Amino acid sequence: MSNQEELPKTPFGQKHALFIKLSFISAITLILLIPSAMIKGLITERKQTKSEAVAEIGEKWGKEQIITGPVLTIPYKDHLVLKNSDTEHVEIIERVKQLHILPESLFVNSKIIPQRLHRGIFEVAVYDSQTTFEGNFANFDPLTLDINPENLLLDKAFLSIGVSDMRGIQKQVQIAWDEKSISFQSGTEISNRELLGSGIHAPVVVSMDGNTMNTSKFLLNLELKGSDHVYFTPVGKTTHIQMASSWTSPSFSGEYLPETEGKIINDDGFKASWNIIDLNRDFPQAWTNQKQNIKASAFGVNLFIPADNYQRSERSIKYAILFIGLTFLVFFFVEIMNKRAVHPLQYILVGLALCLFYTLLLSISEHSSFNFAYILSAGMTLALVGGYTRAILKNTHFTLLLSGVLAMLYGFIFVVIQLEDLALLTGSLGLFLILGLVMYFSRKIDWYSLNEKMVASYS
């Protein structure tokens, strides 16, 4: 029997103290992503609540408006010949179809008078608009579409304008058709409902000179209420549209952007103009019963409200893992240098404080500007985490170090949020720099000997 005594085995927890500590920190970091995800869901919920508020105001004031037309429609008789091959019996069925003609020229001058309405804490952009439509329908030969001029029902011709939300019409609409005043009626009377959707129509007089329809001029004023945006369609062979408003933050969108020379945006509002010809679109000047997607070519202006706090809050919470992970990493290094153990529960409390920052940011930004909410929320979080760090580490130098790192991180994220086109580039470079600094300051650490020191200092 050997007289040598067996050396006592080192407990697993002491032998792998460093690994276990890092595992706890990593697990806590991942667990804290759960409240971060819950806060992100809260942001989405508040964003949806705002959308519902906007929709509710739109239901009462008037929704976004898309104005399509005017379109001249002339019913005509079409004969379908049916022949029975067995009996050679021929049957002629008379049907009524519709010929649609677009203006030769169209001039639209629209003045947008904006307002800001509030539903609780939510702000919505609404407007009154005063729009003038002026133009003419050129001579047209129906034979170009294989329509016999004698089959045209000229006494049933009418002019239609599509209005996406009829509740926005404020006054009776009159049209001067060849200098004759005619009142519009509800509905478009177009058989293909998808062409204009909801709208108004007016019976008009169309005359023929031989086989050719004569030129007709028109002029009408449309006073319309709406919210968020107003769009027009380029139905003229040449379409010229001018828009002006006192709204200082317009967002031009749709199929066409305004001309650079005709666009002015300043503190007094904006002015914009569009010049579009028929070659810029994908529908003809005249057609029969075929489907044409005119509304797909709509364009105009959105009354953009710049302070989209929810979008910015969503962008900021994407960096939650960076905040939590980097803060815990600094805590870990401070714990090593200070030789003072930090309990996992204390890591959890610090992580929850960091998560609470996003709740503060969301709630405060609903009542103030986003920038002010961000600075205030960051200051409150820094004070809370800094005070708690000072209490558990008993070291002012390390407390200032951690607070400084957090302050720089909040500042970095704030800059990234403000950027639009360069946000991804700036964020990527910033994360690369942070990783480089961590690698630089940890390059000389002997992790194996550090484990023994941690065991000795914690025992």
* Top-confidence residue, 252 or 7: 252
Predicted confidence band of residue 243 (pLDDT cuts 50, 70, 90): very high
Mean pLDDT of 108-117: 92
Q: Is the pLDDT of residue 308 over 50?
A: yes
| Cβ atoms 46, 130 nearer than 8 A | no
Tokens of 224: 């319309």
Mean pLDDT of 125-135: 94
Contact partners, residue 223, CB within 8 Å, separation at least 6: 128, 129, 130, 131, 169, 170, 171
pTM of the predicted model, to two decimals?
0.70
Q: Is the pLDDT of residue 256 over 70?
A: yes
Q: Is the pLDDT of residue 158 over 90?
A: yes
Check residue 12 and give its pLDDT.
Answer: 45
| Cβ atoms 384, 354 nearer than 8 A | no
Check residue 437 and give its pLDDT.
Answer: 72
Check residue 7 and give its pLDDT.
Answer: 43
Mean pLDDT of 274-278: 94
- For the stretch 160-180, pLDDT in tens is 999 999 989 988 999 999 989
What is the average pLDDT score of the chain? 83
Check residue 422 and give its pLDDT.
Answer: 67
How many residues in total does the chain contain?
459
- For the stretch 441-451, pLDDT in tens is 666 666 556 55
- For the stretch 12-70, pLDDT in tens is 445 556 667 778 878 888 888 888 888 888 888 888 887 787 778 777 888 889 999 89
- For the stretch 181-198, pLDDT in tens is 999 999 988 888 888 889
Cis preceding linkage at 203, omega within 30 = no
Closest CA to 112 of 241, 233, 247, 220: 247
What's the CA gap between 322 and 320, in Å, rounded? 5
Predicted confidence band of residue 153 (pLDDT cuts 50, 70, 90): very high
- For the stretch 203-215, pLDDT in tens is 999 988 888 888 8
What's the CA gap between 94 and 80, in Å, rounded? 6
Closest CA to 67 of 204, 196, 192: 196
Measured in whole angstroms, how far is the alpha carbon of residue 89 from the centre of its chain? 62
Mean pLDDT of 321-343: 76
